[in-house]
Amino acid sequence: MIDMFLYDDDETSQVQFVGFVGDHSRYDLMLVQTDRHFGKTIVLNMQTNKFGIIGTDDLEEEGYIAHILGVSEEEGNEITEYLQEVIQ
């Protein structure tokens, strides 16, 4: 039995599926944008099943995208390059 709900909200979201090929790998990402996370985007790497709530400040952190999405440093740099174009 559930004693207490912490939250149970419905949220309108925009979901984008994107696949692209870089110099180091192929990438399959899902980007979810809502008002829930202070303007940040939920980015899911569908190949590693890892995700992060990512904003422009996170894109500037050295190695953060590679770590949070479970990819190599080179792959993380390619994903970061793409995300810098779509996350504002």
| Residue 7 pLDDT | 86
Check the CA dihedral 42-43-47-50 and report its sign: negative
| Residue 88 pLDDT | 83
Rounded distance, CA 59 to CA 9, Å?
28
| Residue 45 pLDDT | 98
DSSP output for 28-81: EEEEEE-STTTT-EEEEETTTTEEEEE-HHHHTSTTHHHHHHT--HHHHHHHHH
Mean pLDDT for 71-84 is 97
pLDDT tens, position by position, 7-63: 888 999 999 999 999 999 999 999 999 988 988 999 999 999 999 999 999 999 999
pLDDT bin (cut points 50, 70, 90) of residue 1 is confident
Q: Where are the domains of the chain?
A: 14-86
> pTM for this structure?
0.90
